[in-house]
Amino acid sequence: METKMIGKRTALMLLASGTLATTAARAQHMKATTLEQAELAGLTAAKRTEVEQRASQPGQTVYEVLTTMLLNGIKNKHQASRIVALDFNRGIAVVELQAGGMTSVNFDLTTLAIK
């Protein structure tokens, strides 16, 4: 498992793009956005079904479900308090550590398992 410290500016830029994606998802009345559909398509059938079932609850988006599932997995291996940004193309989550600072965590694109 490889983690890397990243710069605050990079993390803030990633956070801004993640915030825009979340806002766009809410604006579309909780339908899966094109980006979310692509993220779902990369998952195993079982994991995709699990995410879709959770996202079908009122007020839940695919993005929110994915970040919650990833953060739960990350917390099993790191003292992380929240995910700052996600890069599903590369399988990397940037997390804010409870002790301060940020680090990147790799995850499997198909199962969301933390590497």
What are the b/e assignments for 48-83, b being 16+ CB within 10 Å? beebeeebeeeebbbbbbbbebbbebbeeebebeeb
Q: Tell me, what's the pLDDT at 114?
A: 94
If one counts the domains in the chain, the total is 1
**Structural domain contains residue 2:** no
**Structural domain contains residue 12:** yes
**Structural domain contains residue 113:** no
Q: Please, what is the Cα angle at 112 between 66 and 101, to 5 degrees?
A: 75
Work out the burial of residue 104: count CB atoms within 10 Å of its CB; fewer than 13 is exposed, 13-18 middle, 19 or more buried.
Answer: buried
**Structural domain contains residue 115:** no
Is the confidence at residue 108, as pLDDT, over 60?
yes
Show the domain range for 57.
8-106
The pLDDT tens digits for 72-94 are 999 888 888 889 998 988 999 99
- How much of the chain, in percent, has pLDDT values that exceed 70? 74
Q: Are 114 and 2 in contact (CB under 8 A)?
A: no
